[in-house]
Structure 1
Amino acid sequence: MRREVLRGGALLGLTGVAGCASRAGGSDFAPVGRLLSEAVARGDVPGVVAAVGHDGRVVYRGVYGHRALLPVPEPQSWTTRFDMASLTKPTITALAVMQLWEQGTFALDQPVCRYLPEFARAGKAGITIRHLLTHYSGLPPDLELSTPWKGKDEAVRRVMDTRPDHPAGERFVYSDINFITLGLLVEALSGQTLDRYAALHILAPLGMVHSGFRPDAGLVPQIAPTQFDENHAILRGVVHDPTARRMGGIAGHAGLFSDADDMVLYARALLDRRAGRPSAFPLKRETLVLMTTPQQPAGRTDLRGLGWDIATHYSTPRGDLFPVGSFGHTGFTGTSLWMDPVSDSFVLILTNRVHPDGGHGRQIVQLRHDVATAAARALGIA
């Protein structure tokens, strides 16, 4: 699998701002390439790496624009590593939680405070693990960042002291606090730090050798920079998310760095496992189906799996043609992965749209939607 992807990636050179693309089979992915190259030309993203998978193969690869604009321009590459931002949530943290669930360590509808007793403070005793995984906990979107706090211990204290905005199960509110808490739960139940757990139980079994938290300094030249930090230095190889950065770069909601090769490996292994084919994906098929089908409280119309988005206002990477029942997630920095088990397809988009000034949020939302629609049309999905 990796040899095929690397071999295809080695063919991808750059010709000016537009870059290059390759495809397999007879499908016409030219509209996908146009959308990506035009986004670069408009300045919506400095550069982009994209892949479309179908029936166990990567049928489209695209590399466009630049990895970095500042301090000097650097061409984009298939091997660029990206800050995955909130893609950390489903790919690492939710998977780790469900591995522990498979072992019988807890039940999904047990209260979080059974395992993290201090979490019961401030009216949170009724919040369950399922509430956290589906973003129906009622907790606010993020920890308060208006004061200059720092350190994991302080973050933990603030999580435990957080008061819900709504009763648990009442409404869908996407919250980083949910997954910060789940990261702490993984550490408490496994006895390992989240990054160590992920390396041993997720990344190594999948062969994701280009992925991890807190990349070594020697890898920085391969990493796409994001934006300026509070000290006016460009963030590169340091997590963009301010809460995760204050926590030291390892958190349940953000912190993973990865590249196209590894994310293709992840997507293909997940779809293979879900379809019952041989796979290195480190979960049972039944557990993975549970994760990727609606698990929100009864009667609620925002559809969420356990970590994965299915049908909410965040579901623009589904486009117009992939069906409800497909699933995926986005990352604030410009990353996204959407998968459709019905057609056995995925669409991966990796960009650092926040480089260098933090902008282009609306543009990346539209680009994800349009690329997914064009990719689905090329695959014959109607």
Structure 2
Amino acid sequence: MTSVPIPPHGTDRQALGRLIEALDGGADGARYIGGWVRDTLLGLDPQDIDVATRLAPQDAERRARAAQLNTWSSASGLAHGTIGVVIGGRTVEVTTLRRDVATDGRHATVAFTEDWREDAARRDFTINALSADPLTGEIHDYFDGLADLADGRVRFIGDPLTRIAEDHLRILRFFRFHARFGKGAPDADSYAACVARAKDLMALSRERIAAELLKLLAVDGPVATIETMLAGGLFAPVLPEIVATDRLAALVVCEKQAGIAPDGLRRLASLLPEDEKVAEQVGARLKLSNADRKRLVLAARPASAPPEILAYLIGRTSAVDGLLLRGLADDAYRASTCDIPRFPLTGGDLIGLGLLPGPIVAATLRQIETRWVKEGFPGRHRIDDMAQAAVAAAQKN
């Protein structure tokens, strides 16, 4: 019998036990589900704990509160069967068993069920449909997910074309899960379906595409998967700018040399041409935040200043991005660890030295800051000399 350790590591076991008891876990009324089971079997440290239950969401919430547990819910969450239970400072999602009533490629209308297999069948991949008894750890596997997990195979449950028609985002999810868990070439039937339905991605919101793509790029080794996607024309409908993986491959190596964690947005920048206009266009198309758009644009610029100065001028994150993208692992590490000073002067300091208020104050302050940065952030004595000299020069003019 395959099983997982119970209770989950790193949780408030007493509180989690109260939740499981409240949900009738001893009578198969609740199980651990999905990613937690999959990752635990692989010896990974799951980030989230998800529980599935036969109880209706309102009943699950009422029972959790009766067990003196803090809960949260929303109208949308309740409609889809999900509540949150706060245990040990983290949220455990509790979701009622469901079946799909209608789907349109983006959203699903669900009905609740008490059938564990029916709920498992609506999940996307076999390795995500595993569930575990909360008391014994025994694994329930309806679609050979254990074998797929052992073989490093990501495979749709049922007909891949049908599953993609239900939710087009599953195309990108397939490649993300293959990048993370797959071994060798992707499952042939699943891959063929993704290639055939690539244009379905155009029907998705750009925010959903961006979120899933950035998760994919942030896995440890995304290069082979991205190459497979390129070969199948997966990027053409929404990101035709992506045509090669050379810079991505070099970036992955450089990140490891510098000891800097992978970053999906930085890796996206490596897949784009080194062109600020293109970076801005892609950021806008994917509806990224203003901060992320700025990062993409800055990543397309040459990183020519010393690491410490670059970190001061454009921020630590963008400095690290630019240096890694140009293969400068040592400089990137310096930028990631250096102390970034605060410019110690204000306009009031210059007025105190005799400079008359007005636009000249800001202009003089910028001149002093530029010189201070160029000299490598000298100390207070030197900057006072700079200020006095600048004020004297401004007064003469």
TM superposition score category, shorter chain reference: under 0.3
More strand, by proportion: 1
Report 1 or 2 for greater relative contact order, CA contacts < 8 Å, sequence distance ≥ 6: 1
Compute the TM-score of the two structures, normalised by the length of structure 1. 0.24
More helix, by proportion: 2
Larger Rg: 2
